[in-house]
Amino acid sequence: MKVHAFLLMIVVAGVAFPAQAQGPAVPAWMQPSFAAEATSTLPAVVRGPAKHNTFIGSYTARLTIRTPDGITQHLFLSAWQDSTRGLMRLELVRGIPHTTWFADIDANIAVVANAIGRKAVVSDLKEVLLVDRLREPGAIREFQAVTLTPTGEHGTIAGADCMRHELVEGGATFELWKADITPSPFADGPAWIPLNEGPLKSFRLLFKFGDHVIFKFVMEPLLELEILSFEKGPSTAPLPDLSTYMVTTEP
pLDDT of residue 64: 93
Structural domains of the chain ordered from first start: 22-249 (2.50.20)
Dump the DSSP string for 158-200: TTEEEEEEEEEETTEEEEEEEE--SS-TTTTGGGBGGGGSGGG
Amino acid at 18: P
Tell me the per-residue pLDDT of 124-157, one tens digit each, with 9 for 90 and over.
888 888 887 787 655 665 555 567 789 999 999 9
The helix/strand/coil state of 36 is helix
pLDDT tens, position by position, 69-104: 888 889 999 999 999 999 999 998 888 889 999 999
pTM higher than the cut 0.85 = no
What is the tens place of the pLDDT at every residue in 29-67? Answer: 999 999 987 787 777 656 666 788 889 999 999 999 888
